[in-house]
Structure 1
Amino acid sequence: MGERHVERSGLARGLGRRQVLGIGGALGLTAVGGLAASAALSRHPAVTGTVLHSAVPLPPAFQVPLPLPAVLAPVSRTGGVDRYEITQREVTMEILPGVRTPMWTYGGTFPGPTIESRRGRPVTVTHRNDLPVPTVVHLHGGRTPAASDGYPTDLVLPRSWPDTAHGTHAGHGGNGPGHAMRDPRAVQTRRTRDYTFPMDQRPTLLWYHDHRMDFTAPAIWRGLAGLHIVRDGAEESLGLPSGPRELPLMIADRAFAADGSLAYPSLDPSLRDRPGVREPYLAGVLGDVILVNGAPWPVHEADAAKYRLRILNASNARHYELEAVDDDGRRLDLVQIGADQGLLAAPVAHGRLPIAPAERYDVVVDFSGVPVGNRVRLVNRLGSGRTREVMAFRIARKVTDHSRVPATLAKDLPNWRRSDAVRVRDFSFRAGRMHGDHGWLIDGLPFDPARSDVTVRLGDVEVWRLVADVHHPVHLHLVGFRVLTRGGGSPLAHDAGLKDTVSLRPGESAEIITRFDGYRGRYLFHCHNAEHEDMGMMANVEIT
């Protein structure tokens, strides 16, 4: 083990006061105390983002049935590898009842088709780009070789796009013209690309989405997101709810224009040249319609039994605090059995469960005590008006239920200790000035694909100390981590297990510990508020 020491990160030191004031007055000043973050702010989460209001009449809640994304069939299973093909294309579909909405899709659906894989059995997905702009596919939460991780400049170019090898337009979402930025390591292809995923990881819910530099937020907003589930026999032997009582729930907010199209405040609606959003939405874009699996405020007919809900927050910037409430006002426990990177060691019961963009929670809800004919609403305690409702379950029948939630779920969680860390790094996530425009920065610098920000050795254990000004869900590619502390104190109940995204609340700090194993190469860490990400809040990790 190398010498243990503390670094200020591989990036520049923090912002000066004048730079921090770049967005929203004193937005960035809440985090100046490092690990002594503002407890008052963290106890009272604010909204980070601005609501974009729809210009079409919105349907009543709990009328549209919950859709379940189709499971994609492999085109072959030869050589011990499951091979899939997905075409990225624009289609017009009915999201709101009676309204036609053009969407960018994986395979013609929103969400895209679900891929179900087995632990240890490799998967290759051939993506074909029939959209009018370049795309990049990232398997979020995947233990993936760097060549298939979906680095933001490793573009799949459409047929008519000019060759941009070793360079990419990189305006980082500023309100002025973009600037050219070179990436000599970019690997670009025309029309198609094979992404290979070894699947050497714990069973869990992953998701895949577009990760194109500077345009991730509007691409996801237009529909480029889908689910990927990893399974294994050990998990299946536990007796958890399964089959029709295991429901993937991709929650995402959107807004609709008067013509039925998706509204989004892009500076360049073509998503070709000028990245960024209009001034009021620099902190993040919030929609006023809550979709679950692509349906507005849906309802699902359920048995009076236990259900396993595989929940993903695929919103660009909206945070939720979920609560299950029946028609009598009784709150049902959300029993968490898994986090971003798979099963917990033991279940944790929550009355309310906060979930930030890109986080996943695996929970069991027991409907056996709910009278037939009654509903259970999944509500968002951080919402207001229509965004306070998410979806509902209508209890249709009494049944025999043999599923269970065992007291011990998993025994394979890593047991990294602080004393194992060879290095401690500090990172600040704050608003600032960038190229004369507004931006979101890590340690005072916007993302540059040509810059090595952090270099780690394969196999090293490190502790990272993160601090934020406003909400920043921080995501590490390749590795999972454990949350050690929040605000210098104990982790929160929902921090349990192995995660790949940690939600920093306004003025809050957190410590995480991880081992950089798996593969060598260039990876990312970034804020998963997609507007922040597009406006510079990413950095490189080089694993050597």
Structure 2
Amino acid sequence: MSTALSRRGFLGLVGAAGAAGAAGSFGLAGCGRDTTGQTAQLLTSLGPTPRPYAVPLPVPAVKKPLRSDATTDYYEIVQRVADVEILPGLRTPILGYDGTFPGPTLVSRSGRRTVVRHRNTLPVPTVVHLHGGHTPPDHDGYPVDLLLPAGGWNPGTGHGHGAGHGASPTTGSMAGDVRKGVRDYAYPFHQRAATLWYHDHRMDFTGAQVYRGLAGFHLVHDDEEQALPLPSGERDVPLMICDRAFEEDGAFRYPALDRELRSTPGVTSAYMEGVLGDVILVNGAPWPVMEVAAARYRFRILNASNARRYRLALDPGPREGAPFVQVGGDGGLLEHPLDQDTIVAAPAERFDVVVDFSAYRPGTLVTMVNQLGSGPTARVMRFRVTGRVKDDSAIPARLARIEKLDPAKAVRTREWRFSRGDVHGEKGWTINGRPFDARRMDARPRLGDIEIWRFQADLHHPVHVHLDPFQVVRRGNRGPGRFDAGWKDTVDLRPTEYVDVAVRFTDYTGPYLLHCHNLEHEDMAMMAAFATT
């Protein structure tokens, strides 16, 4: 249950963030060692963390359209400040879609248009990006296409990555398509069924605003998917996994440089590699428990963390068969199911998996663990297996038809180097040695052409491409990795590694983004713009 929060309450929220930042900047508190397989630093909570497996798994509510016509479903979401109970007995101020965290789940049909009207009653500007959406550029959530607060906006003084590049006195950043109060985002959904998510994409402040709650699921269905006997209904469950740190009073703890999220982007120097929290949340609940029947379940796993990578496993594993059968990824169904002992998920990646709890005796407690965590972050959630039930679901040997992009038909290769670098005289993150400039187009691919894009990394960088998914061709001198199957829109790039992907853009011309989805890296300029032609 959420309640409205005053502006004073919101300033308490960001004030706590500023306090965390001050501590981090002097190295006095908050840094930790939970960094195996990560490019990030641990920020610890100041109060006691809750007992694991004490709260039930919540499932975000499915939002109903305000109205529908022959071609389109219409929704309205109010972005507002609220306080919610995340840690038992405490209230956490959030920035929330409809005042909830996660936001409501939207469900759409492939080929049927969806229009979502967003009303911004927050005290900060926002931008909404439908992650994985095949979306026209005006509705994709370009980071300077701000939706200003309905109550007015004064950015104050400071500097952003737009400094020296035509910064607007109204927005405090480079001027884009700026609206006040209300914006309609139209999604044609000429794309396959897939697990998408929507989140804030405001230039320079994405990390802080997503951390405070601006994220939710958007699921797309189609005939191909619905013809399959995969688990459905109550046994098709979205799982948004993320990590957070908390103040003693229950507020989110985040090391923002600008406590009011107005004009100075980024985090304190101790956390410029990324922010790890010490509390794992699933659908907004700390280490929850879910009662499951002894049957198959489909879990739509989303890593919605700012920077944390996970290696998910089940403890105990099943007596026979694979713990996870992967049936889908970022861009929808795979061609064939894949048995996976673990799931390695970088920020923004999605994995649709089936877990067969009939392999366990009723009464068994099955824990989803994180093998890249330690202490409390080695736990994710728990399943309590109840009685046996009739289960008509199955996993077919063939799931979907996937067109293979032929690398031999690529018209060119582009290289994108992700590394630390100079950002207007300060430390930051760059692509090809350059910080982001929203007006500079670093590539102009033609619609319909296949291109090879080579991503090269110094450290861990989850690389996300807007508009269209891609297919992983190789990792270094090897083929695709275990978790690279199917259509991807985000790829887990590891230190000193290069990954080649085949990409083909279709339907829409205009500016889009390529960026690191470690949100602290993104906010410190690790983005590049390209224009499809």
Tell me whether the two structures share a fold, i.e. TM-score over 0.5. Answer: yes
Q: 1:116 maps to what in 2?
A: 107
Question: Once the two structures are superposed, what CA deviation does each residue of 1:266-286 show, in whole Å capped at 9, x if it has no partner?
Answer: 011110121110111000000
Aligned-partner residue type, residue 132 of structure 2: G
Question: Once the two structures are superposed, what CA deviation does each residue of 1:122-169 show, in whole Å capped at 9, x if it has no partner?
Answer: 0000000000010000000000000000000000011343589xxx98
Match of 1:150 among 141, 153, 172: 141
Matched, 1:305 2:295: yes
Match of 1:101 among 92, 95, 98: 92
**So what's the TM-score if we normalise by structure 2?**
0.90
- SS of residue matched to 1:112: coil
Match of 2:503 among 493, 511, 514: 514
Question: Once the two structures are superposed, what CA deviation does each residue of 1:205-233 show, in whole Å capped at 9, x if it has no partner?
Answer: 00000000000000000000000000012
Match of 2:459 among 470, 477, 496: 470
Matched, 1:407 2:397: yes
Instruction: Decide which moves more: 434-443 or 64-73.
Output: 434-443
Higher RCO (CA 8 Å, separation ≥ 6 residues): 1
Runs of 5+ unmatched residues, structure 2: 1-34, 168-172
Question: Once the two structures are superposed, what CA deviation does each residue of 1:414-446 show, in whole Å capped at 9, x if it has no partner?
Answer: 211111111111111001122111110000000
When residues 440 and 245 of structure 1 are mapped into structure 2, their CA distance, relative to the original with a 3 A threshold, is same
Q: 1:88 maps to what in 2?
A: 79
Q: 2:489 maps to what in 1?
A: 500
- SS of residue matched to 2:359: coil
Number of equivalences: 493
When residues 327 and 475 of structure 1 are mapped into structure 2, their CA distance, relative to the original with a 3 A threshold, is closer
Matched, 1:247 2:237: yes
Q: 2:257 maps to what in 1?
A: 267
Aligned-partner residue type, residue 233 of structure 1: D
When residues 169 and 538 of structure 1 are mapped into structure 2, their CA distance, relative to the original with a 3 A threshold, is farther
Q: Work out whether residues 170 and 214 of structure 1, in 8 Å CA contact, stay in contact via their aligned partners in 2.
A: no
- SS of residue matched to 1:113: coil
Q: Work out whether residues 318 and 360 of structure 2, in 8 Å CA contact, stay in contact via their aligned partners in 1.
A: no
Match of 1:421 among 410, 417, 421: 410
How many Å separate the matches in 2 of 1:339 and 1:240? Answer: 15
Q: Work out whether residues 429 and 469 of structure 1, in 8 Å CA contact, stay in contact via their aligned partners in 2.
A: yes
When residues 482 and 99 of structure 1 are mapped into structure 2, their CA distance, relative to the original with a 3 A threshold, is same
Q: Work out whether residues 37 and 309 of structure 2, in 8 Å CA contact, stay in contact via their aligned partners in 1.
A: no
How many Å separate the matches in 2 of 1:49 and 1:295? Answer: 23
When residues 196 and 425 of structure 1 are mapped into structure 2, their CA distance, relative to the original with a 3 A threshold, is same
Match of 1:213 among 203, 206, 209: 203
When residues 456 and 180 of structure 1 are mapped into structure 2, their CA distance, relative to the original with a 3 A threshold, is closer
How many Å separate the matches in 2 of 1:45 and 1:513? Answer: 30
Q: 2:181 maps to what in 1?
A: 191
Q: How does 1:271-350 map to 2 (within 5 A)?
A: 271-326=261-316, 332-350=322-340
Q: 1:22 maps to what in 2?
A: none
Shift of 1:327: 8.1
Shift of 1:453: 0.9
Shift of 1:57: 1.2
Q: 2:13 maps to what in 1?
A: none
Runs of 5+ unmatched residues, structure 1: 1-43
Aligned-partner residue type, residue 364 of structure 1: V
Q: Work out whether residues 126 and 193 of structure 1, in 8 Å CA contact, stay in contact via their aligned partners in 2.
A: yes
Aligned-partner residue type, residue 487 of structure 1: G
Matched, 1:486 2:478: no
Q: Work out whether residues 170 and 179 of structure 1, in 8 Å CA contact, stay in contact via their aligned partners in 2.
A: no
Q: Work out whether residues 475 and 500 of structure 1, in 8 Å CA contact, stay in contact via their aligned partners in 2.
A: yes
**So what's the TM-score if we normalise by structure 1?**
0.88
RMSD: 1.8
- SS of residue matched to 2:362: coil
How many Å separate the matches in 2 of 1:58 and 1:377? Answer: 19
Percent identity at matched positions? 53
Shift of 1:180: 6.0
Q: 1:387 maps to what in 2?
A: 377
When residues 107 and 170 of structure 1 are mapped into structure 2, their CA distance, relative to the original with a 3 A threshold, is same
Instruction: Decide which moves more: 154-163 or 118-127.
Output: 154-163
Match of 1:524 among 513, 518, 533: 513
Aligned-partner residue type, residue 543 of structure 1: T
Q: Work out whether residues 147 and 178 of structure 2, in 8 Å CA contact, stay in contact via their aligned partners in 1.
A: yes
Aligned-partner residue type, residue 466 of structure 1: F
